Amino acid sequence: MIKYAAIIEARMCSSRLPGKVILNVNKIPMIILLIDRLCQVKAIDRIIVATTKDKNNDKLCQLLKKNKVNFFRGSEKNVLDRVLKSALKYKVKNIVQITGDCPLIDPEIVSQVISIHKNNRFDFVSNSTVRTYPDGMDVCVFSTKNLIKTSNLTKNKHDLEHVTLFMKRKNKLFKQCHIMAPQSLHLPKLGLTLDEERDYKLIKIIFKKFWKKRKNFSCLDIVKFLNSNSKIMQLNKLVKRNIIPFKI
């Protein structure tokens, strides 16, 4: 049984930026950069990419095979089922949910969220239920057992598309911990996720700034860099993010 596995939701058919997960920075695909950052999290025992059976993802799977990365191919629209079957295939006890459009994810933030889940009796721990961190630093931790429970309780298409939406809404069924960013990282409007071409330009600049000298650069490092380079920060300021509204 794998205690904690990062399961990355990734596919090639993004409507706004097709093939974004394999776009390169210094000849390294984004998905590999993301995996390299997650490899720095000591509490993660396995990394799995949950993609789909669509033939458009064949190229992604070939890349993962080449880099010896575990992956599972499941439903295109039922992402909850895809993540759940990924966890069951690899016998995962607890899931660290990451999306493939977050290549800048901070290993230390991921470690903190896992630690809170590990050392407390929470069913669900997240730093993105209430947006305080920059978009792109999102991580949720929950057990496979609770994802099975979720799968049995909902057939709502929004719940199936957004894996943790049901758990977030049903706070009487799942004991939850919602982590807020410290003041230095309280930048909910800062976009560090890969949604459009303008995001790609920004993310390339950030990786090129830090990657060779310090692979485990932090969210705070990024914030300080952008604060001192306002023109770079403006690159993706007008990109609209998809927001799923709900009450907690």
Contact present, 232 and 205 (Cβ < 8 Å): yes
| Spatial CA neighbour of 5 closest among 31, 37, 43, 35 | 43
Residue type, 162: H
Give CA separation, 13 vs 39, 54, 57, 89, 143, in Å: 26, 9, 8, 24, 28
**Positive or negative CA dihedral for 66, 36, 55, 152?**
positive
- Per-residue confidence in pLDDT tens, the chain, 248 aa: 999 999 999 999 888 899 999 999 989 999 999 999 999 999 999 999 999 999 999 999 999 999 999 999 999 999 999 999 999 999 999 999 999 999 999 999 999 999 999 999 999 999 999 999 999 999 999 999 999 999 999 999 999 999 999 999 998 899 999 999 999 999 999 999 999 999 999 999 999 999 878 888 999 999 999 999 989 999 988 888 776 655 55
The pLDDT tens digits for 143-191 are 999 999 999 999 999 999 999 999 999 988 999 999 999 999 999 999 9
Considering the chain, what is the average pLDDT of its residues? Answer: 94
pTM, two decimals, is 0.95
Exposure string of 31-62, with b = 16+ CB inside 10 Å and e = fewer, is bbbbbbbbeebebbbebbbbbbeeeebeebbe
Compute the distance between CA of residue 98 and CA of residue 38 in angstroms, rounded to an integer: 10
Give CA separation, 78 vs 9, 45, 49, 60, 105, in Å: 11, 25, 15, 19, 24
Helix (H) or strand (E) holding 74: strand 70-74
Domains along the chain?
2-236 (3.90.550.10)
Q: Which pLDDT belongs to residue 244?
A: 63
Maximum C-alpha span of the chain:
49
- 116 in helix, strand or coil? helix
Q: Which pLDDT belongs to residue 13?
A: 87
- Residue 25: strand pairing partners: 28
List CB contacts of 64: < 8 A, sequence separation 6 or more: 31, 49, 70, 71
Q: Which pLDDT belongs to residue 153?
A: 96
Angle, alpha carbons 147-150-154 (nearest 5°): 150
Q: What is the DSSP string of 36-51?
A: HHHTT-TT--EEEEEE
Per DSSP, 240 falls in state P
Q: Which pLDDT belongs to residue 14?
A: 84
- 92 in helix, strand or coil? strand
